[in-house]
Amino acid sequence: MTSTDMLIGPHHSVVVGLGRSGLAIAEYLSRRGEPFIMADTRDRPAGLSDFQRLYPDVPVHCGDLRRLDLQKVKRVVLSPGVDPRTPGLEQPGLEVVGETALFVEALSQRAKRPMLIAITGSNAKSTVTTLVGDMARGCGINVAVGGNLGTPALRLLAQQPTAECFVLELSSFQLETTPQLGADIAVHLNLSSDHLDRHDGMAGYARAKQQIFNGAGIGIINRDDAATAPFDPAQVARVVSFGSDMPGSDSDWGLAELDAAVWLMKGSQPVMAARDVMMPGQHSLLNVLAAFAVGDEAGWPRDGMVDIVARFAGLAHRAQRVADIDGVTWINDSKGTNVGATLAAIEGIGVTLAGRLILLAGGVGKGADFTPLAEPLARHARVAVVYGRDRALLARALGSVVTVVVVDTLEQAMQHAMGAAQPGDAVLLSPACASLDQFDNFEARGEAFCAWLKQWQPHS
């Protein structure tokens, strides 16, 4: 397609990215009657014909953004998948924001602004976001849940116009294009290596995550992970923490042993016995503590939240207990696509076992360093079964501290685990890798894991 320079005026926004968020941005601007142009860096983006059918009068530019004179526009609004460093976006004075920034703008224009709860982290943010949303509903709150998880934030505004609370999962991609989020409650769960190519390394990734605290009322952070604390204390009005130890103040959350049982605590007050949490592993207890901290600060009734947690089984493919076969628990953590997620699963589940852990890992490693997995596997694992494209890299990183078995496919890994597992053990699929060498996505990988277990017949 040809350039649309001559069609751009000072009141136009340019929306870049014909994906799910890009369409939500287009819907929002169209509802408001704001003129915009759609652009995509691909020459033939998926969804182009559908967009043109919906918006026949909106100009579309496909290809190199440098062919657009963006100096004339009101602003550029990026979909999360579009890198702000894309050539053509570096023009001086250009306002570049994302969908979440428009959501914040729209929220501030309401006569009565709803509560905004924002949740980020390298891992577990979908689980905590979903749990917080379930808690809100269980406590009778008219809540809208989405963002990086499920429905884009701008679409939530249209779908649930009377919502009194919005709970958003936000990725680093969304946060880096949101200058002033202004969340009532901002949660930073954890930080581990991910998306380093997009953010020019770990420091840039950490800075993007810190945007969650800009203008926040309450910041909820992880005491076990210092990188979750606000770099600038002035970013937030007050900080509440959660962690795996006994809370140090009455406003913080943690774990303690009372009468030979582990309890989830607020300060010195026991709130819920760990045995009553359905999700497996200590890392799941930390997720629940974060959710409790959110609900408590939001003023939701404690009994209602406890009731929801007792029935919350977690999300599919995220530390999901799938089967118990001959005393062995099988756990689907296919969403563990990076080292940090797998590390949390190993540590969290390993400490709860009467037996040992059998790890199934492999796929596309995205250049990751797998050596941090070695030390916890040495403490908790019976064997690591590695498969897929980067199985040799995993074997080299782990082989000096734990028995490693190398196979080709996930099914072969499961077959080996079935023979190696002993009563009291857990078989954990937490690959530390992307799935695209053998599966379309992590969901397909997790579904294959579950399907294989359903078909397995003892003594066959």
416 in catalytic set: no
CA-based nearest residue to 337, from 232, 443, 261: 443
How far, CA to CA in Å, does 91 sit from each of 31, 40, 69, 88? Answer: 29, 17, 9, 7
Identified catalytic residue from 12, 61, 125, 366? 125
454 in catalytic set: no
In this structure, what DSSP letter does residue 206 have?
H
Q: Which residues are CB-contacts of 412 (< 8 A; sequence separation ≥ 6)? A: 387
**How far is residue 316's CA from residue 433's CA, in Å, rounded to a whole number?**
17
Identified catalytic residue from 12, 61, 123, 148? 148
**How far is residue 319's CA from residue 317's CA, in Å, rounded to a whole number?**
6
Q: What is the amino acid identity at position 91?
A: Q
Kindly tell me the burial class for residue 138, based on how many C-beta atoms sit within 10 Å of its own C-beta (0-12, 13-18, 19 or more). buried
Q: What is the DSSP string of 382-395?
A: EEEEEESTTHHHHH
**How far is residue 205's CA from residue 176's CA, in Å, rounded to a whole number?**
9
Q: Which residues are CB-contacts of 19 (< 8 A; sequence separation ≥ 6)? A: 47, 79, 81
Q: What is the DSSP string of 114-161?
A: PEEEEEE-SSSHHHHHHHHHHHHHHTT--EEEEESSSS-HHHHHHH-T
**How far is residue 340's CA from residue 333's CA, in Å, rounded to a whole number?**
12
Q: Is the Cβ–Cβ distance between 116 and 100 less than 8 Å?
A: no
At 139, is the secondary structure helix, strand, or coil?
Answer: coil
Q: Which residues are CB-contacts of 453 (< 8 A; sequence separation ≥ 6)? A: 322, 323, 325, 330, 414
148 in catalytic set: yes
Please give the positions annotated as active site. Answer: 125, 148, 195
